[in-house]
Structure 1
Amino acid sequence: MEETSRTAQIAHVLFLDIVGYSQQSTSAQARLLGRLNDAVNASPAFDASKAAGSVQPLPTGDGMALLFFGDVIAPARCALDVSRALARADAPRVRMGLHSGLVQSQMDIAGRQNVVGEGINTAQRVMDFGDEGHVLLSAQYALWLRQFDDWTPLIHALGEGEAKHGQTVQLYSLHGADVGRAKAPTRLSSPRADSGKDAPARVVTPQRVALLYRPHQDPDEKVLRTLEEQLKAVGHDVFVDNQSKISKAWALAVEEPIRRADAVIAIVSPKSMQSEMLEFEVETAHDQQAQTGKPILLPVRIGKEDVQDGVIGSIIRPLTQFAWEGPQDDPRLITELLSAIAEPLKPRATEVKLEPVGGAVPPDSPFYMRRAADHEFLQALEDTESILLVKGARQIGKTSMLAQGSKRAKELGRRVAITDFQKFNAAQMASDEAFYRLLAATLARQLGFKYDFAAEWDDIFGANLNMENFLRDLLDAGEAPLVWFMDEVDKLFTAPFASDFFGLVRSWHNSRSTEPGGPWDKLTVVVAYATEAHLFIQDLNQSPFNVGRRMELADFNLQQTVDLNGRYGGPLGSYGDVERLHGLIGGQPFLTRRALDALAGGKMDFATLLSQATRDDGPFSDHLKRLLISVSSLPHVAEYIRALLADSAPTDQDAFYRLLAAGIVRQPPGGRPAFRCELYREYLQQHQL
């Protein structure tokens, strides 16, 4: 499954807590929280947002945070409602803080979804300045609320306060006849005397911000100019590269401000992602971030299209992205970026929900990596081609690819049957009669097809024709085409009836021509195998292996490894680390996932993984031990490995094809046989096979 790019989400947060809560007894605390909950639930603003599914309450122990999405006025209305409800003398004494900022969902240690982010943190910091009865606003929320004339008279500038860790916060008060408190908070040492109605909201900790884009490309450039103006207006030091030609002087001039920036905003669109200049700039920012932790990289995605593959896509896909589809998004985008610059969202690695590594990758897994063969395979399924051949070594992802095909076939309204020949035992494959009868029975059960075997399966026809008659009736029983996935077909190659069976499959393909409009037009057979068929099939012209569409799965290339690293949250912090991992395991899919899973799960760091890679208690130990056993069990195979380790030219073809199917060696085009990856060579060398 292609991963959907993540976009940022802005929340308008109302943070409430009960003043003096910790000084109360346990029973009194429960009573006060109950009254606060009642006041919030009685709020028409909260009730309307709850009914619309646009508010998320978060308990905080001595109060709560209410995250409103979409309606900027809702938290202010809720604050007004709660203030009125708590006006009684025996009501809890409450203070409130409001702020608009970014939030994100992530898994907590117990596997539950939680919400974190600058939006919540700043709302709490704003509230912490207040005394009993205060309703305080951040500069950002005040800026939003001022857009509504009815609320403007209630907004009063207070000045700046110093929060924890020396952070300075610009504060406003919301107060009127029945909401808030006019007196300045005691924590403010020098409150402003004026209302501050027209005072611009400026950041108090200016940051160095670099804006990256493709020049002379609209709407990219219009978005850039808007961001440049607004970021400068709030006090940030903004760098914009306005050059349009690549040169050595340009590269030197642009690299330094990008590397020293605190934040880099990259404006990306389908056309701009083809720009070599933008690619260089984004790579520079990514490299610097991997080395020093800065700058934070904030991609702004123009339009509705998802991120494209490529260098830029592989870097920004794991990141939180900021969407812009038109000028109406300008205020929201500016707020989101200011929030992200003030307090960056946590890295993707903290959010990734890992999956067990081994066996087929589930069809909906974010860790399934599509390769060139996948696109050809899915298109052939859509076109209802007759025979599709999926070839690849062990643990390269054939079964996972079949699962993707099964999912797609069902989406297309096809009937789907799956036969895994690995599940057939020796007795069931002792004769063609037993084999075909079992094959037909399993198809009938999977597809809910009622077939009178006693009446229809007649010895006079023999096993082959009985199977064909069954399949013809099965195809005629429904209008929808049938896709029959056959996995682990290698097991049939040595069966006594192998040539007859594969000849039968070939005949169904031929029948599309001899019976135009017949049932065979509705049949697609998908054959997954690892071994070279010509070693076992006597006449390839009487088999499906020289007429079907053949797709051979390859190991992950370097770019696909970069992409998969991003899906795991980027545990490999630099392009160089990805290159080193790929150089060790050669993109072998199982080993790649095992390595990234170990790193993303915190089981070890990359240096430890490299140093322990070939150890019998290392991250790949089980896999390597099975490999050692498999090559040691047959003397001529072990001899072939020894010759390969000695860099001689082994000639035993049987050993070569066994090792090729097992995924231990590979045959480069026009080259000599070689180990599939450096890890295999080092491990077998250590064990002096």
Structure 2
Amino acid sequence: MKKKILILAANPLNTPRVRLDEEVRDIELSLKQSRFRDQFEIISKQAVRTSDLRQAMLDHEPQIVHFCGHGAGDKGLILENNIGQLKPVSTESLARLFKLFEQQVECVLLNACYSEKQALAIHQHINHVIGMGQAIGDRAAIEFAKGFYEALGANRSYAIAFEFGLSAIDLEGIPEIATPKLKQRESPPSSVDLKPDENVLKSDLTKGLETPGSRSRIFISYKRGISPDEDVALAVFKALSQHHDVFIDQTMAVGTPWAKKIEEELQRSVFLISFLSPNSVSSEMVRGEIETAHRLEKQQGKPKILPVRLNYREPFTYPLSAYLNSINWAFWDDTADTSRLIEELMRAIGGQALPIDSEASKRDLITEGPHCDGESVIPEPPPYAQPVSLEPAEGTMDPESKFYVERPSDSIAFHTIDQQGTTLTIKGPRQMGKSSLLIRTKARAEALGKRVAYLDFQLFDRSTLADGDSFYHQFCNWLTEELELENRVAEYWDLLLGKNQRCTRYMSRHLLKVLGSPLVLAMDEVESVFDTEFRSDFFGMLRSWHNSRATTPIWKQLDLVLVTSTEPYQLIENLNQSPFNVGQVIELVDFNEEQVADLNRRHGAPLNSAQLKQLMLLLSGHPYLVRRALYLVASQQISVPELFAQSAADRGPFGDHLRYHLFRMNDKPELVKGLLEAIRQQRCLDERVFFRLRGAGLVQREGQKVLPRCQLYADYFREHLHG
């Protein structure tokens, strides 16, 4: 009996054109030339509507269903309506349909962008389903289909055919081999799909570790749609779920309820397993989950973080280093390590330590692997983007980076720090480049022979920020440690003086006196103190240090550099006691068209002038998002049409960034309300909410109007916020 392959193609009039005719022709040709061609029958349907889909499934009863066209991520697959316009079909509807054919359909191939969610849903009923974890270009989609059906025509299994599809992409030098994702099972969905050696280990892994009723709640954090991250995460999920209650986010619709669910699951979990790869360490959501777990562990003693390095040997960069360097790690190099990793995690959950548990073992792991050249902790992009050497946009930029866009503020900062006894404030919304400018200023100061103490205030935990005495005490301890001086904090804390006086004496009579040379006190994210009861006292103390330079020579040794994303004036009662309105104040703004064009040239000019204008309309010069867009296009990870078409998609080019903002607003209904006011009514009635939203980089004020910072934010949050 012949296997029937039902090909369903849809390219609505109001969607970008894709080469569906070529894909169908190549599938037919691959099978026609194959050895077992007589075992297959191809039925091809074009311009498929929802009614066509049902009828074709009933009429032909296929064993293989191949969809080619457009995917819309969480919104489903795109078919056509009666007039040829796009018609989204939801994930739930597709899963319900395929459930009706689970006895006859063996394999479903969704050759469409961002179709992995639909693949996961259909996989509940169909043994073999292939979807795309991200956008896939025409060439990659066609080559994958050719390789897949060539292998089927040679009587290979679906799993082997999938590998042939990947090989076809790879052989053509197309950098999209990680995009197709295979969901397969040979046994009931509740069983664990492990390799043979893992099955042997199953009974041994938990001996002595588990007792009846000892199930733990576990949260798995990973970067979705990326290999090997997702493959390893799912293998661990399946193994641990046999003995524990494990949460992994695979199919949840993104929105305010999603963010609330993530927060709730972290609060309930005893362990957070975080998979850290060259891709995931730059993920804002992965970092956000680690930050939240770290905060919760300080507050309630759980969850414990279990970091797993996935073939990642580079040092963790800040701020991940602050959370992860002092705790134990596990390491996974390739698929041969999966069973060992599962065993190590099971033992860690049972109370034992992860294997990389000493400074020496951590150094050995890091020094064994290749190192980057300092431009980025992420491995250098593939050579097809050369001769331009690219770096991902995430994080603080190296001061010598060729992609750093110098602005007039740079020369002002340098001129200020060249002097002695100065106060510099750098203000601007999140991801504007404040920390990068701070790093450049720090490097400049060190080149001048100044000592620099760098304190990132976001590392103060909530318990410290809730108590003024604890904060001042930790502030002095931390400053002493940064300068590697003798710690005499306890001695000064015994004085019968107020907190400001103790801290001031410790600075002037110990730290500055022992140093005897210029000191730059660089404080990042100082808005962390704005919600505390002692904010006016602390910032008043910094203002007094600034003023003391005029009367006390030792204070002229001290330079103050403050970095903040939130407007402080509304939060300090007496502006005469504020350090933010004295000295040199720099307020960073978004890139203008000339700077974006310059950055485009540095990336090898992947966008033409018309596309640059479109990018400005979408992002309004947002420095981080502009850099990310140019990097993705220049490194051929996404095409220009796909960049714009998928810009506001949950799994699109900016999806990680957008979901992170959504996650951070989950427990702040006043921010949700304020942002929706800006989107819908161009206003924000609560001035404090406005300052917090502006500090987060989400809104801006133009005259009397409060507007979303860029069109991307308006499009995304209009759809995903509820309030």
Q: Give the TM interval when normalised to the shorter protein.
A: 0.3 to 0.5
Give the greater-gyration-radius structure (CA): 1
